[in-house]
Structure 1
Amino acid sequence: MSPESRLRDLGLILPPPVRLPPGVVLPFAMVRVVGDRALISGHGPQGPEGSLAPPFGKVGAEVSPAQAQEAARRVALSVLGSLRRELGDLGRVAAWVRVFGMVNAAPGFTELPAVINGFSDLILEVFGPEVGAHARSAVGMAELPWSIPVEVEAEVWLRPT
């Protein structure tokens, strides 16, 4: 089953391009295709209209681990939206290579892998274990932009066009 079909079957809708706070300009591409690779810049959780989605704050303090895991799932949808806009079709993804998950962690919060599982689980649901399997890191950060709880960057390998 294609990733596009799987998204439909799961009832998932990809958000539009991110709407950043007023005055913010990002001087880089959200997805950069180089040869047979797509490098995906750090994405945060988005709402259906494109704005950064709450909750905001540190995981383990203002944001619960369950809320953060859901935020990581929203990050996956954001990444898939950017990939689709750049590639035209998510079926071009031959393999997920690497995922780097960052958690806005309160001091002492160590459940970082469980939070980023929200991202990984969605990728595996949409792409299946053969294409969706990836290498991964999950790290805690002192701060993330705009107090988002989770940010993820990634790399995928592309099918030839």
Structure 2
Amino acid sequence: MARIEAKLEQMGLALPRALQMPANVQMSLPFAWVRVRGARAFVSGHVPLNPDGTIAQPVGKVGADVSPDEGYAAARLVALAHLASLHKALGDLDRITGWLRVFAMVNVAPGFDQMPRVANGFSDLILELYGPDIGTHARSAIGVALPLNVPVECEAEVEIDGA
């Protein structure tokens, strides 16, 4: 078993299935979840998912409907969704040689300004899995309105080996 997958298993974490859109949502998604180009993989925005690929609860605005701690937990789930898509695209999460950039978008209530605290859920998991040499990344965390009223969405860019 690959190193990162073994760490996930030791941590009791499982990669979710791909996003299962709610039945009442009719939306086309004309893009790739992961676009590999040369030694880089660009990861589209992902949302927090349950293991079956459905959108994780709670949903809503952080600072009103969702607590900062729940937002942090949702960002961890986004990291797992990224890893699931990267695994599907690359075949092996150990091919990632560097997490370069993460862009975190937090669905915020008026006056909430702790977006970095929420985004730390994503960053902390990546650093725990990959260590500082590979896992350290540049990051932005902003407050926005998000589709499907999810509390957090992230996109990323990673460096990969050429295997």
Relative to the length of structure 2, the TM-score reads 0.96
Q: What is the CA-CA distance between 1:24 and the residue it aligns to?
A: 2.4
- The secondary structure found in structure 2 opposite 1:8 is helix
Read off the aligned partner of 1:136 and give its amino acid letter: R
Q: What is the CA-CA distance between 1:11 and the residue it aligns to?
A: 1.3
- Tell whether the 8 Å contact from 1:2 to 1:127 is kept in structure 2 after alignment: no
Which of these residues, 44, 47, 59, is aligned with residue 44 of structure 1?
47
Between the aligned partners of 1:19 and 1:72, the Cα distance in structure 2 is 18
User: How big is each residue's C-alpha offset from its partner over 1:128-155, in whole Å with a ceiling of 9 and x where there is no partner?
Assistant: 11110000001011x1010000000000
After the TM superposition, which parts of structure 1 deviate over 3 Å for at least 4 consecutive aligned residues?
Answer: none
User: How big is each residue's C-alpha offset from its partner over 1:94-133, in whole Å with a ceiling of 9 and x where there is no partner?
Assistant: 0000000000011110011000000000001111111100
| Structure 1 partner of 2:9 | 8
Aligned-residue RMSD, C-alpha: 1.0
| Structure 2 partner of 1:56 | 59
Q: What is the CA-CA distance between 1:2 and the residue it aligns to?
A: 2.0
Relative to the length of structure 1, the TM-score reads 0.97
Which of these residues, 130, 133, 136, is aligned with residue 136 of structure 2?
133
**Structure 1: gaps (5+ residues):** none
Read off the aligned partner of 1:150 and give its amino acid letter: V
Q: Are 1:112 and 2:112 matched, yes or no?
A: no
- The secondary structure found in structure 2 opposite 1:45 is coil
| Structure 1 partner of 2:156 | 154
- The secondary structure found in structure 1 opposite 2:77 is helix
Identity %: 54
- Tell whether the 8 Å contact from 1:37 to 1:155 is kept in structure 2 after alignment: yes
Which of these residues, 101, 104, 114, is aligned with residue 104 of structure 2?
101
Read off the aligned partner of 1:12 and give its amino acid letter: L
- The secondary structure found in structure 2 opposite 1:98 is strand
Number of matched pairs = 160
